[in-house]
Structure formats: C-alpha cells, structure tokens
Amino acid sequence: MSLRSPLGRVRGLGSAKSGTEHWWAQRLTALALIPLCLWFVASIAAMVGADYATMRAWVDSPLVAGLLILLILATFYHAYLGVQVVIEDYVHYEPLKIAALLCVAGLSILLGVIAVLSVLLLLFGG
C-alpha cells in the first residue's frame, strides 16, 4: 500500500510534465520587464557619456540598485525560459539537447550572480 495520495502520484506525470508553470513564469517575468526595461533604457540614455563618478552616484541608492537587481533577475529568468524553448524546438538529439539546456541554465545563473554582485559592490563597496 502506498502512503502517497492519488493526487501526489499523478502530479507531473501528464503529457505536459510540469503543467503551466513555465508558461506562467514567462508571462509574469515579461510583465515585470516592461516597466523595468523602459526605466533602464531611459536611465542609460540620460547617462550617455557619463564618467565613473556619475555612474557610481546613480547606483548609490537603494531604489536604483534594487531596481537593477530586479531587472537582472527577471531578465535572466525570462531569457532562460525563452532559450530553453528554442533549444527544445530545434535540438532533437537528446544528449545534445540536455547538454545545451544545462549549459544555458548554468550560464544564466553565473551571469546573473556576476551582475547582482556587481550592483551590490557598487552599492556597498568603497
């Protein structure tokens, strides 16, 4: 006799495997990226030609640093979900597909961590 509930046994076993989470996460991150990207491009365009001190002064605020970190997290999550679908659509050789998916996942996390750490260094560093 299994101690697992009927629902627990079937969860994740359908043809869609993980249900609607992927689709929903892609839409939520897309929604978040609309204001974040508009804010970022406007800020950058207004800082063209700025020197190091101006850039430091810009990031040296919890609001700007916080928005940058949100932008980074939403960007890499959204980018990963998108590239994952592209790989799944075009790479049909299973070992290569899994390797490519792992590479993209690892790169997304690595680049995201570097970017977030850079923002934190700019905010808290000397």
69, 119 Cβ separation under 8 angstroms: yes
34 binds another protein (CB under 8 A): yes
41 binds another protein (CB under 8 A): yes
Candidate ranges 4-12, 14-22, 80-88, 93-101; the one touching another protein (CB under 8 A): 80-88
| Both tokens assigned to 55 | 């850039």
> In angstroms, what is the minimal distance from the CB of 33 to another protein?
8
Candidate ranges 6-14, 92-100, 112-120; the one touching another protein (CB under 8 A): 112-120
Radius of gyration of the chain (CA): 20
Angle at the Cα of 59 from the Cα atoms of 53 and 60, rounded to 5 degrees: 80
- The 8 Å CB, 24+ separation contacts for 15-24 are 22/81, 22/84
Residues that bind another protein in the complex, under the rule CB under 8 A:
27, 30-31, 33-34, 37-38, 41-42, 44-52, 55-56, 59, 68, 72, 75-76, 79, 82-83, 86, 111, 114-115, 117-119, 121-122, 125
